[in-house]
Amino acid sequence: MSTTLIRGAKVLGGEPQDVLIDGETIAEVGCGLSAEGAEVVEAGGKVLLPGLVDLHTHLREPGREDSETVLTGTRAAAAGGYTAVFAMANTFPVADTAGVVEQVWRLGREHGYCDVRPVGAVTVGLEGKQLAELGAMHDSAAGVTVFSDDGTCVHDAVIMRRALEYVKAFDGVVAQHAQEPRLTEGAQMNEGAVSAELGLGGWPAVAEEAIIARDVLLAGHVGSRVHICHLSTAGSVEIVRWAKSRGIQVTAEVTPHHLLLTDELVRTYNPVYKVNPPLRTERDVHALREALADGTIDIVATDHAPHPQEDKDCEWPAAAMGMVGLETALSVVQETMVDTGLLDWAGVADRMSFAPARIGRATGHGRPVSAGEPANLTLVDTSYRGPVDPARFASRSRNTPYEGRELPGRVTHTWLRGKATLVDGKLT
């Protein structure tokens, strides 16, 4: 078993300490540590965080390996500081059976850059008509705990209620893509002043908010857990805040791009800014940041959505929706939340590791940086600032909205159960 000594790291942004990794476990945390024969990593005041956990990643395999594979996606995750990701079900075939989720789980185990926890579909084929094999997926080797039709909404209230009732038996959670389909037919961007000026079909905030309102009421009625994917509007924040005040078991996520970008960018007609849900207004961005800071929004999730160049390098109406995000997420959170004083690094550890691991029941992840815990760790050079270069991405796709934009922070090292997957910014 290997031994690694991380010297002088600011654990969760606190005072510099040493962290000794022995095999797969953190052996000791303190000052002035030493270990004969250990590999020494001079942290030099970098921030040490628990390995990040992404509750919302699209790995595309099986079926769209031209966009991403489990291998390339988990390499991108390691480069971004992640040690576990939850892989969404909208693959080809859809991950709506035990066989498909086990395939994704085994691919993750084979490649070893991070743990892959498959998300099971709520309905067969994501069609919203019949519940998928929720129990079989949970009982499979993959041990599925999160179910989502992400990419489409479980719009039938009866189906949604049945799903919530079913997963309650094994403490699962339904993660809802909140989008009332009748209100978003032909929608191309956020409904508002910019859409009116550009003549693009508007995507109203109420299409998201109406589904969230319905589903938190259903979750409260059933006594089950519901999670809101990629929450994007100020109104949605208020609904979730109300539901939590009533004791309803609701959690919510925000993406990095919804914390930073607004619908004003659509004026460029650059399809890299086309995403679902759409970029919203400055008012929404401000509300999302405040809600993440006060805990109304529980976590940051990337919604990493890779696409091949031909699906994005085309006219706006024909372009696919989505952005890659695993390799830039922590930098965007530093820019929007830490450097603005809204969160400290302990808060980042909660929103990007502790809380997503807890929601997804990711055993061994989202644990304190202390002796006896699994050595799933991320070291971040928070003093770095530089332009985003997608040519350097580990992801197979390059559809980032940040190309050329200067962002702070750089992940230098990632450890998965004591094994370095990223060293000095380079994948092992």
**Which residues are catalytically annotated?**
303
CA 209 to chain centre: 21
146 contacts 55 by C-beta, under 8 angstroms: yes
43 contacts 6 by C-beta, under 8 angstroms: yes
In angstroms, the CA 365 to CA 265 distance is 36
Residue 10 to residues 17, 31, 47, 338, 369, Cα–Cα distance (Å): 6, 11, 5, 15, 11
In angstroms, the CA 374 to CA 204 distance is 44
Q: How many CB atoms lie within 10 A of CB 373?
A: 15
Name 295's Cβ contacts closer than 8 Å, sequence gap at least 6: none
Phi-psi region of 410 (alpha: psi -120 to 50; beta: other; left: phi over 0): beta
Number of C-alpha atoms within 13 angstroms, CB side, residue 347? 19
- Per DSSP, what are the bridge partners of residue 26? 21
Residue 144 to residues 48, 60, 147, Cα–Cα distance (Å): 29, 18, 8
Type of residue at 327: E
Which 3 state secondary structure label does DSSP give 368? coil
In angstroms, the CA 175 to CA 230 distance is 10
In angstroms, the CA 312 to CA 307 distance is 7
Helix and strand numbers (H, E) in the chain are 13, 19
- Which of 118, 224, 219, 122 lies closest to 170 in space, CA to CA? 224
Which 3 state secondary structure label does DSSP give 125? helix
Buried b (16+ CB within 10 A) or exposed e, 199-220: ebebbbbebbbbbbbbbbbbbb
In angstroms, the CA 249 to CA 82 distance is 26
